[in-house]
Amino acid sequence: MNIPTLTSRNNPLAQTVRLVAAQARRAPPELVLAEGLRVLEEATNAGCALEATIVHEGFGADSRERSLLEKWSAARVPIRRASAALLKGLSEFVAPQGALALVRVAHMSLSDVRKAPNHLILCLCGIQDPGNLGTLLRTGLATGVSCVFTTSGTVSARNPKAIRASAGAFFRIPCIEGLHLSEILNYCRAHQIMMIQAQARGQTSCWTLDMRAPIAIFLGNEARGLPRHQWPDSPGVRIPMLAGVESLNVSVAGSLLLFEAFRQRSTVTADTARGFSP
């Protein structure tokens, strides 16, 4: 496959990559930066529109890389090769994985959320660390989360570090970002979705809470958590742990709650298939 070579940092494609990586105001608003083989596979297999890809000089040596090149070529995605030095200058990471792409992902609103038979919604309020947010997206994909809502003040799911931490899950879960808290609460109430808050000292244990019905799980800031007074009509839910342990990392706590919801829902599905009532 004859692939043109990108030789200058001043090339328009390279300049666009840097703008998108920095989430600059001048960056095209619907483009995100995807880096790494696994992330690019997820974006490609999810049917996302790839604007362009840049790969290192030896990319295509193994079967996974060749498969991607073939898919991109068939879809007429512009592909460019670049030296390791040039790629490193474009990457957001200390150890670039040798391939990146600009991917077109439209911004979504609440009106774009598809109705699900049994919604499991993840609501992120004030999460600051892109690694935590990306990890929660990855867990959400594994546990059947139907969509993710974030409030203003939360790091963007479109952040390159969040996308990489999600291992590409970002491209497979609808993310509606920058919402006011009232919008989320009104949506959940209108659709009869139970809301729970992750609280280190919540009155209800996640092991006893019934999470089989439509539910929205709220996670707060890594340091401050969720201010309880803002949700007077939703329970505070805790994860039981040994005395003397103050709290868990938000991505760990969120993952435990999501997998408990998944466990309960999986039990219902299995019992229904065998003819039992939940």
Are 237 and 128 members of one domain?
yes
Inter-residue contact 250 to 217 (CB < 8 Å): no
Are 157 and 22 members of one domain?
no
Are 92 and 207 members of one domain?
no
Q: In terms of pLDDT, which residue wins out, 244 or 113?
A: 113
Q: Considering the domain boundaries, does residue 16 fall inside one?
A: yes
Are 123 and 232 members of one domain?
yes
175-216 pLDDT per residue, tens: 999 999 999 999 999 999 999 998 877 889 999 999 999 999
Are 137 and 256 members of one domain?
yes
Are 161 and 259 members of one domain?
yes
CATH number at residue 74: 3.30.1330.30
Are 96 and 177 members of one domain?
no
Domain hosting 34: range is: 12-104
| Structural domain total, the chain | 2
Inter-residue contact 226 to 237 (CB < 8 Å): no
Q: Considering the domain boundaries, does residue 6 fall inside one?
A: no
Dihedral angle of Cα 254, 260, 261, 264, to the nearest 10 degrees = 180
pLDDT category at 229 given cuts 50, 70, 90 is low
- List the one residue out of 172, 176, 163 whose CA is nearest residue 36: 163
CATH number at residue 141: 3.40.1280.10
Q: Considering the domain boundaries, does residue 4 fall inside one?
A: no
23-70 pLDDT per residue, tens: 999 999 999 999 999 999 999 999 999 999 999 988 988 999 999 999
Are 96 and 145 members of one domain?
no
Q: Residue 98: pLDDT above 90?
A: no
Residue listed under structure tokens 């995605």? 77
Q: Considering the domain boundaries, does residue 2 fall inside one?
A: no
Q: What is the pTM of this model?
A: 0.90
Q: Considering the domain boundaries, does residue 3 fall inside one?
A: no
Are 162 and 253 members of one domain?
yes
Pairwise CA distance, residues 65 & 62, whole Å: 6
Listed residues 69, 104, 139: the one ending a domain = 104
Q: Residue 268: pLDDT above 90?
A: no
% of the chain exceeding 70 in pLDDT: 91
Q: Considering the domain boundaries, does residue 5 fall inside one?
A: no
Specify the pLDDT at position 126. Answer: 93
pLDDT category at 231 given cuts 50, 70, 90 is low
